[in-house]
């Protein structure tokens, strides 16, 4: 059978031995069906990878037609930022806990992957954010975020004060524990826990969600994804900006952070029959009998 994707890179959360067993099972299955298998070198040792070449994560987008993640949403987040510049699609096998993005259960792994490689899948494009930290008119840091860009107070515990602009127009000033700038994908993560709206992943939107604001009139707001959001820290001695909760940059007063939609979306491939609302009901326990 003709395979749509001929070079597949496997990525796994390395902390669990059971995942490595699944990784080798999937690698052997793909190789037996004529697929060239590559393995992310952060996911396995040479002994664990066996006959399959280990590649640097930064080379994944150049060498693979498809990436398959075995793990949880955290692993998906880290790989999404790597693959987005190359438009390489991503498939998630759930071996984590909640798994909003890794939607193929482990017991269906081989069957679902075979179908996807043969072209039976539901593609879904999701936006990312690109953030630049500006200090005294010079860029001191930049990063991509698939879930969210989060501004937070530091270990000193006091609230931070900041101003927010949208397309160079003043939106508001705020005193709070921080602010979440979330993509639709990230709307079911920290944003949801902070009272933000759930955005369907195909929406072209960005949500601004305050974290414990001093004024109760500060409410979440959804913006068009073509907007440029500017955050300016006016007071806060230990503030930080976090990117997907996996990297961060310390902020100084009067630093500005410019946030806009990244030029490339990330394509996630779902199995046929995938239903976003079914996933929400299952993960969030909607529809259970009320007490």
Of the candidates 28, 40, 56, 73, the residue annotated as catalytic is 73
- C-alpha closest to that of 104 among 252, 117, 65: 117
Task: Provide the terminal-to-terminal Cα distance of the chain, rounded to the nearest Å.
Answer: 52
Length of the chain: 291
Do 76 and 65 touch, CB atoms closer than 8 A?
no
Q: Is 73 a catalytic residue?
A: yes
Both tokens of 244, joined, read: 């997907």
Residue 65 annotated as part of some ligand binding site:
no
Q: With b meaning 16 or more CB within 10 Å and e meaning fewer, what string describes 145-173?
A: bbbbbbbbbeeeeebbbbebbbeeeebbe
Residue 56 annotated as part of some ligand binding site:
no
Cβ atoms within 10 Å of 35's Cβ, excluding its own: 19
Both tokens of 235, joined, read: 């007071």
Please tell me the distance from the alpha carbon of residue 8 to that of residue 67, in angstroms, as a whole number: 6
Do 123 and 269 touch, CB atoms closer than 8 A?
yes
Residue 177 annotated as part of some ligand binding site:
yes
Residue 175 annotated as part of some ligand binding site:
yes
Both tokens of 285, joined, read: 């326990």
Residue 238 annotated as part of some ligand binding site:
no
Both tokens of 85, joined, read: 């510049």
Residue 148 annotated as part of some ligand binding site:
yes
Containing 21, the helix (H) or strand (E) segment is helix 17-32
Residue 219 annotated as part of some ligand binding site:
no
Binding site membership for NAD(+): which residues?
73-74, 147-148, 175, 177, 246
Residues forming the active site: 73
């Amino acid at each position: 059978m003709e395979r749509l994707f001929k070079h597949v890179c496997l990525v796994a959360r390395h902390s669990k031995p059971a995942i490595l067993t699944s990784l080798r099972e999937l690698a052997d299955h793909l190789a037996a069906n004529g697929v060239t298998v590559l393995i992310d070198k952060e996911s396995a040792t040479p002994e664990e990878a066996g006959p399959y070449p280990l590649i640097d994560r930064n080379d994944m987008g150049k060498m693979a037609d498809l990436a398959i993640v075995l793990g949880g949403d955290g692993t998906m987040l880290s790989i999404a930022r790597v693959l987005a510049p190359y438009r390489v699609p991503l498939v998630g096998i759930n071996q984590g806990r909640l798994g909003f993005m890794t939607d193929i259960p482990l017991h269906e792994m081989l069957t679902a992957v075979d179908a996807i490689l043969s072209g039976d899948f539901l593609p879904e494009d999701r936006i990312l954010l690109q953030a630049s930290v500006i200090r005294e008119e010079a860029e001191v840091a930049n990063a991509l975020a698939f879930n969210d860009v989060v501004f937070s107070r530091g270990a000193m515990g006091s609230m931070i004060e900041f101003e927010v602009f949208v397309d160079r127009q003043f939106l508001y000033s705020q005193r709070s524990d921080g602010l979440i700038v979330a993509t639709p994908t990230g709307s079911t993560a920290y944003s949801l826990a902070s009272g933000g709206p759930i955005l369907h992943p195909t929406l072209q939107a960005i949500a601004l969600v305050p974290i414990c604001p001093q004024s109760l009139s500060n409410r979440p707001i959804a913006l068009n994804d073509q907007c440029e959001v500017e955050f300016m820290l006016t007071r806060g001695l230990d503030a930080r900006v976090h990117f997907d909760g996996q990297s961060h940059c310390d902020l100084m007063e009067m630093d500005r952070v410019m946030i806009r939609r990244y030029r490339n979306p990330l394509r996630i491939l779902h199995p046929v029959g995938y239903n976003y609302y079914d996933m929400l009901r299952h993960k969030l326990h909607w529809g259970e009998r009320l007490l």
